[in-house]
Amino acid sequence: MDKDEYYVELSIQSDTLTSEEITSILGMSADETLVKGSLRPPRNVARYPHHGWTIQTSPSKEDVEEHVNSLLERLEPVKNKVRQVSNQAEGTVACVIETTEVNPSFVLDPK
């Protein structure tokens, strides 16, 4: 990797809603899903404590702000359904930096 790459993701975790149920409620497919109790690679020792449903932007050198905007645009048609799911599950938004630098950082415009 010659320069930082970024991506932004929304992950929804639930003890009760499966990823299939989350997909059905949202009407949107996930980029990645996890099944509660399944083994966690690569060592296959620990198990996932929750069901998981995740969408994310593709890693690239675009500014983090562009990734955030891209994810929000993708979620716009289902924003009310995301609120509905949030009553039964926990959501996390993560901004990820893949880098060779020791102290990576980014700044988001407050607008």
**Starting at the edge strand that comes first in sequence, how are the strands of the sheet with 32-34 ordered?**
32-34, 51-56, 5-14, 90-98
5-14 and 51-56: which strand pairing? antiparallel
Render pLDDT for 18-33 as a digit per residue (tens, 0 to 9): 999 999 999 999 999 9
Render pLDDT for 24-72 as a digit per residue (tens, 0 to 9): 999 999 999 999 999 988 888 899 999 999 999 999 998 888 999 999 9
Per the document, the length of the chain is 111
34 — phi, psi (to 5°)? -130, 145
pTM for the structure as a whole: 0.83
Cα–Cα distance between 33 and 75 in angstroms, integer? Answer: 17
Q: What is the DSSP letter of 31?
A: S
